[in-house]
Amino acid sequence: MPTWKVTLEYDGTRYRGWQTQKNTERTVQGVLLRAAREVLGEDASIGGAGRTDAGVHAIAQVAHLRARKDLREGEIAWQLNSKLPPDVNVLAVEKAAPRFHARHDAKSRTYLYRFSRRRTAFGKPYVWWVKDRLDRAAMGRAAKLFEGRHDFVSFCENPEGQESTIVVVEKCEVREESEELQFRITASHFLWKMVRRLAGTLVEVGRGKLDAAGVEKLLSQKSDAPAKWTAPPSGLFLENVRY
Burial class (CB in 10 A: 0-12, 13-18, 19+), 5: buried
Q: How far apart are CA 107 and CA 146, in angstroms?
A: 18
Instruction: Give the span between the Cα atoms of 86 and 123, in whole angstroms.
Output: 18
The catalytically annotated residue of 53, 87, 132, 224 is 53
Per DSSP bridges, beta strands 128-129 and 108-116 are parallel
Return phi, psi of residue 28, to 5°.
-65, -45
Find the farthest-apart pair of alpha carbons in the chain and give their distance in angstroms, rounded: 58
Collect all residues with Cβ–Cβ distance below 8 Å to 3 and sequence separation of at least 6.
Answer: 64, 65, 66, 95, 96, 97, 98, 99, 100
Task: Reply yes or no on whether 53 is catalytic.
Answer: yes
Residue type for 243, please? Y
**What element of type H or E holds 65?**
strand 57-66
What is the number of alpha carbons within 13 Å of residue 34 lying toward its C-beta?
11
In angstroms, the CA 29 to CA 51 distance is: 9
User: Active-site positions?
Assistant: 53
